Amino acid sequence: MGRTGNPARLAIALAVAGCLAVFLLYTSFFGGGRPALQPSALRQHPGQEVTLSGMVARRLPSVGAAARFRLRDVKGSDAVTVSYRDGLPDQFKVGRDISVDGRYANGVFVGKPGTMVTKCPSKYTDKKTT
């Protein structure tokens, strides 16, 4: 662009400023995301909506329509019971890494339906050492 001032320069500056303002407003009003935690850190955030990640340690008997299982830290032994009232993803099974949104209350993490994602370990795994 030319170095002298012109209306276009002003319009561009305003557009950029507008975009930044929208961004700042969004982050101010909507809080800029939720914590992503593993089970060991969950107890410090009771009642707060978080994304919980970990490895499925074992399945528990379902309660009504809610599937239940123990989720533990990927590299650790701390675990929490998770209740999830929705269809489990196809890849879900014991030993698999998952993440799910929800809240921790009364010793149980209640997952938000439709938010569980699983890791698919057969793709792009690191080279095996034999």
- ∠ CA 121-108-69, nearest 5°, is 35
DSSP bridge partners of 63: 66
Q: Which residues bind another protein (CB under 8 A)?
A: 1-2, 4, 6-12, 15-16, 19, 22-23, 26, 30, 32-37, 51, 53, 65, 86-88, 90-91, 93, 97, 99, 101, 114, 117-128, 130
Shortest distance in whole angstroms from residue 71 CB to another protein: 14
Shortest distance in whole angstroms from residue 61 CB to another protein: 14
- In single-letter form, the type of residue at position 70 comes to R
| Nearer to another protein (CB atom), residue 106 or residue 127 | 127
| Nearer to another protein (CB atom), residue 76 or residue 114 | 114
CB-based contacts of 6, cutoff 8 Å, min separation 6: none
Shortest distance in whole angstroms from residue 28 CB to another protein: 13
Pairwise CA distance, residues 30 & 26, whole Å: 6
DSSP bridge partners of 67: 84
| Nearer to another protein (CB atom), residue 22 or residue 60 | 22
Shortest distance in whole angstroms from residue 50 CB to another protein: 9
Pairing of the two strands 117-118 and 79-84: unpaired
